[in-house]
Chains A and B, each alone.
Chain A
Amino acid sequence: MPGGYAGAMTSTPDPVPALSLRGLVKQFGSKTAVNGISLDVPQGSFYGLVGPNGAGKTTLLSLATGLLRPDAGSARVHGTDGWAQPLEAKRLMGILPDGVRLFDRLTGEQLVTYAGLLRGMDRETVQSRTRDLLAAMDLTADAGTLVVDYSAGMTKKAALASALIHAPRLLVLDEPFEAVDPVSAANIRDILTGYVRSGGTVIVSSHVMDLVQRMCDHVAVVAGGNLLAAGTVDDVRGDGSLEDRFVALVGGRTHSEGLEWLRTF
């Protein structure tokens, strides 16, 4: 699936961005995790956020989604200030955070149901959507198993299902494909591209360049808390592959000298 949906979007006059970040700053003690990042995510885009480990991707997404309060800066979701009107902004967003626990003593079905009910949806809608989502994530057979007994990939899929249940306009997914098997990943990609085609916006963070290049139409490169590049995938990568461009931007490639002892057993 090459990123080809941007064309359909450019035909409409560019409306309010789905997500608009302005000057976001977050420090942990003396360490600056996010150093004044501004970024616009157009409506209907499939946006990739890439960066090396510890680049600040998760922190940036937490600041954007209201899970972490920024030291400075703002985040607007479809024009709604996420820190001034959090409830309105959260209604528009579905979030898959990385590195947080789930209520894993619930079954998969209960977890998705819980997410729907917490959002104030009525029982019938929650029930039917839960069934659809579990089927789409290939979890129907394990709907009654406790999430704590799920594998890492199944857990990810259950969390993704709970992020989708209220039909958000913007999906913010932190490492959605980590530990997910190739078949499920392909299914999830289909769901997401279909969602984007019908006007939704997706932001995914990843450090798998290949995946981002194939799946996304826009990409932002973050390293050391700074935004190094942002734009359509074709603009950012130029002539080379996204991976080459990424390495050139981020640097830090070490050559495999040293560790000779690892080859001597």
Chain B
Amino acid sequence: MVAHLLRLKLLLLRNSLRRSPWQLVGIILGGLYALGLLALLLAALFVVGADPALARTAVVLAGTVTVVGWAVVPVVFSGVDLTLDPARFTTYAIPVPQLLTGLAVGGLIGIPGATTLLAVLAQALSWYRSPVALAAALLLSAVAVFTCVLASRVAVAAAVSLTGSRRFRDLTGVLLVLPLVLLGPIISAVGEGISAGASFLPRLADGLSWTPLGAVWAVPGDIAAGSYGPAAAKSVISILFLAVLAAAWRTLLLRALVRPPQAAAARRSAGAGLFARFPATPTGAVAARSLIYWLRDPRYSTSLLVMPLLVVVLVFAGRDSQAGSGLLVTLALGPLIGFLMGFSPHADVSYDNTAFALHLATGVSGRADRAGRVLACAVFAVPAVVLASVLPAVLTGHAGLAVPVLGVGLAALLAGLGLSSAVSARYTYNVPLPGENAFKTPPGSAGRSLLVQGAFSLLLFALLLPVLVPGAAAVVLQSTLWGLVTLLAGLLVGAAVLISGIRLGGRWMDARGPELLQQVSVNR
């Protein structure tokens, strides 16, 4: 049965690659990236390996970060590859232990899984100087790898079962942000530690090695150092933790299998809602529809979660560092939010999926379609960027800098929206389908989104140069004149890119509407 599940996963992967060659490109890019990381890691390991104490610190810290990464990243950023979505096995009578084993081993198929597996094995081999440590490391590498996989499955299953209940969905944002807020203090603590000197890190590693997250990574180092007692205790901790994770996953999975996610209670809202608040034109209608989706569709609303995270991280980073650089970090908030919000609708048509057929059937002009989507995003993004640009400058006592920062922020937002308008009318991505788990990513999409984000950022940076140069001058020279120039340039450049983006995207959409529908209907 386990072999069946693995074969199923490989087959699904192969077939999905056959449907969309871009996904293959994504996987290759992601694979190259992972290979690069591995090579770096190997080099570092064999340099560090000469000093057991140093190696132990490095392995414990890196290992703990890996486990945390497996648990947090899928929930917050990238989503998890749910090719073998447990909910799909509801109707098959597969014994639970075999299903669990199959799904866990299946989690290793794919770039993150394979990379982690190789990295953990390499780490184990780097203890070759002490045969006992090497043996323990090899034995425990299975525990380490499956701790990673199960941590991510438990985190995602918990997030899904929480977001699955509709009433909870409105609260998701708040509840997911709370733990993120803790990231701020953690980051500042780590920052303090690093600045306090390298002596902090071994102490941190010591502490972590007694926690479930770090225990498994510390055992070989302890053995190499001759402390067998702690090594035994930490082995027990790590195996117990794996057992707890497995039990938690089993519970969550059984609940998902017995009660597949479904509409708890029908949601109702009377009248035309937002449609009554926007102008009764095609553009206004598209804007109202988009805004409703920003509010109701978890695929959109989870992308808004990044904003508070950014605020927290930057504020903490800015608070703790020296006055000069700290100020700069906090001032980056407005432009960064502008960039992120401008980037956010770049996959809008992919998110519509085949519902886009309605736009095609009604013959709405591409320009109205593009402008409406921009308008919906601007409704909340413009106030957000204005606040995020002006408030930090005023609160840190540099009110004069609010003007150039606002210029850069608005330029980033408007130009980003313009670029997105053009991009989403032409290029489509494999995104979670409407109504699907927002935390799910199709394999290979991470590599592709890296590529798209990179190209998008470069292009945007080039377009924003006429704003960034006077902006830098305004901050460095503390000049009001340059500040005003930046704001003016920002508005001009932003508006110009926005209008040309809407026009270009509209023209593409008018000319290639049926092809665009074909592209999105490949992702089913």
A interface residues with partner B (beta carbon < 8 Å): 65-69, 86-87, 90-91, 93, 95, 97, 99-107, 109-110, 113-115, 117-120, 122-123, 126-127, 143-146, 148-149, 162-163
Which chain B residues border A103 with CB–CB below 8 Å?
A: 289, 293, 352, 355, 358
CA distance A144 to B263 in the complex (A): 15
Asked if residues B285 and A107 are in contact (CB atoms below 8 Å), the reply is no
Asked if residues A87 and B360 are in contact (CB atoms below 8 Å), the reply is no
Asked if residues A105 and B293 are in contact (CB atoms below 8 Å), the reply is yes
Asked if residues A118 and B269 are in contact (CB atoms below 8 Å), the reply is no
CA distance A110 to B293 in the complex (A): 12
Known: A67-B517, A109-B272, A122-B280. A100 touches B357 (CB 8 A): yes
Q: Could you pull out 12 A-B pairs where Cβ atoms are within 8 angstroms?
A: A65-B361, A66-B360, A68-B518, A100-B357, A103-B289, A105-B292, A105-B296, A105-B434, A107-B273, A110-B289, A118-B282, A119-B363
Which chain B residues border A67 with CB–CB below 8 Å?
A: 357, 360-361, 514, 517
User: Does B478 make an interface contact (CB < 8 A)?
Assistant: no
CA distance A252 to B215 in the complex (A): 66
A162 to nearest B CB, angstroms? 7
CA distance A143 to B388 in the complex (A): 39
CA distance A40 to B137 in the complex (A): 75
Q: Mark B242-275, 1 if CB is under 8 A from A, else 0.
A: 0000000000000000000001001111111101
CA distance A144 to B360 in the complex (A): 25
Asked if residues A117 and B355 are in contact (CB atoms below 8 Å), the reply is no
User: Does B91 make an interface contact (CB < 8 A)?
Assistant: no
Asked if residues B361 and A97 are in contact (CB atoms below 8 Å), the reply is yes
User: Does B515 make an interface contact (CB < 8 A)?
Assistant: yes
Which chain A residues border B357 with CB–CB below 8 Å?
A: 67, 97, 100-101
Which chain B residues border A145 with CB–CB below 8 Å?
A: 266-268
CA distance A102 to B354 in the complex (A): 7
A127 to nearest B CB, angstroms? 7
CA distance A66 to B270 in the complex (A): 34
Which chain A residues border B358 with CB–CB below 8 Å?
A: 102-103, 114-115, 118, 162
A115 to nearest B CB, angstroms? 6
Known: A102-B358, A105-B296. A120 touches B282 (CB 8 A): yes
Which chain A residues border B352 with CB–CB below 8 Å?
A: 103
CA distance A120 to B435 in the complex (A): 29
CA distance A145 to B265 in the complex (A): 10
CA distance A118 to B285 in the complex (A): 6
Asked if residues A107 and B269 are in contact (CB atoms below 8 Å), the reply is yes
Which chain A residues border B359 with CB–CB below 8 Å?
A: 118
Which chain A residues border B286 with CB–CB below 8 Å?
A: 118
B486 to nearest A CB, angstroms? 39
Asked if residues B360 and A110 are in contact (CB atoms below 8 Å), the reply is no
Q: Mark B425-438, 1 if CB is under 8 A from A, else 0.
A: 00000000011000
Chain A interface, DSSP helix/strand/loop, else mixed: mixed
Asked if residues B361 and A117 are in contact (CB atoms below 8 Å), the reply is no
Asked if residues B275 and A100 are in contact (CB atoms below 8 Å), the reply is no
CA distance A127 to B250 in the complex (A): 51
Known: A90-B363, A146-B266, A149-B267. A101 touches B354 (CB 8 A): yes
A227 to nearest B CB, angstroms? 22
Asked if residues A86 and B363 are in contact (CB atoms below 8 Å), the reply is yes
User: Does B480 make an interface contact (CB < 8 A)?
Assistant: no
Given contacts A67-B360, A105-B292, A114-B358, 16 further A-B contacts (CB under 8 A): A68-B514, A93-B361, A95-B361, A99-B354, A103-B352, A105-B296, A109-B271, A110-B272, A113-B272, A117-B275, A117-B280, A120-B281, A145-B267, A146-B269, A149-B267, A162-B358
CA distance A148 to B289 in the complex (A): 15
User: Does B364 make an interface contact (CB < 8 A)?
Assistant: yes
Q: Give 7 nearest A-B pairs by CB, closest first.
A: A117-B285, A90-B363, A123-B280, A100-B354, A149-B266, A118-B362, A101-B355
Chain B interface, DSSP helix/strand/loop, else mixed: helix
Which chain B residues border A91 with CB–CB below 8 Å?
A: 363
Asked if residues A117 and B268 are in contact (CB atoms below 8 Å), the reply is no
B198 to nearest A CB, angstroms? 52
Which chain B residues border A109 with CB–CB below 8 Å?
A: 271-272
Name the one of A87, A90, A93, A100 contacting B355, with C-beta atoms under 8 angstroms: A100
Name the one of B263, B281, B353 contacting A101, with C-beta atoms under 8 angstroms: B353
CA distance A32 to B27 in the complex (A): 31
CA distance A101 to B363 in the complex (A): 17
User: Does B81 make an interface contact (CB < 8 A)?
Assistant: no
CA distance A103 to B282 in the complex (A): 15
Which chain B residues border A149 with CB–CB below 8 Å?
A: 263, 266-267
CA distance A102 to B275 in the complex (A): 17
User: Does B521 make an interface contact (CB < 8 A)?
Assistant: yes
Which chain B residues border A114 with CB–CB below 8 Å?
A: 275, 285, 288-289, 358
Residue among B272, B282, B518 with most chain A CB within 10 A: B272
User: Does B206 make an interface contact (CB < 8 A)?
Assistant: no
Q: Mark B507-524, 1 if CB is under 8 A from A, else 0.
A: 000000111011001000
Residue among A103, A117, A145, A162 with most chain B CB within 10 A: A117
Which chain A residues border B266 with CB–CB below 8 Å?
A: 145-146, 149
CA distance A256 to B358 in the complex (A): 42
Asked if residues A106 and B434 are in contact (CB atoms below 8 Å), the reply is no
Asked if residues A104 and B435 are in contact (CB atoms below 8 Å), the reply is yes
Name the one of B269, B362, B513 contacting A115, with C-beta atoms under 8 angstroms: B362
Which chain B residues border A144 with CB–CB below 8 Å?
A: 268-271
Known: A118-B362, A120-B282. A104 touches B434 (CB 8 A): yes
Which chain A residues border B268 with CB–CB below 8 Å?
A: 107, 144-146
Asked if residues B521 and A100 are in contact (CB atoms below 8 Å), the reply is yes
> Nearest chain-B residue to A150 (Cβ)?
B266
Which chain B residues border A162 with CB–CB below 8 Å?
A: 358
Asked if residues B363 and A104 are in contact (CB atoms below 8 Å), the reply is no
Asked if residues A126 and B362 are in contact (CB atoms below 8 Å), the reply is no
A107 to nearest B CB, angstroms? 6
Asked if residues A104 and B267 are in contact (CB atoms below 8 Å), the reply is no
Residue among A100, A109, A122, A149 with most chain B CB within 10 A: A100
Asked if residues A90 and B518 are in contact (CB atoms below 8 Å), the reply is no
Asked if residues A101 and B434 are in contact (CB atoms below 8 Å), the reply is yes
CA distance A97 to B517 in the complex (A): 12
CA distance A86 to B289 in the complex (A): 24
A155 to nearest B CB, angstroms? 12
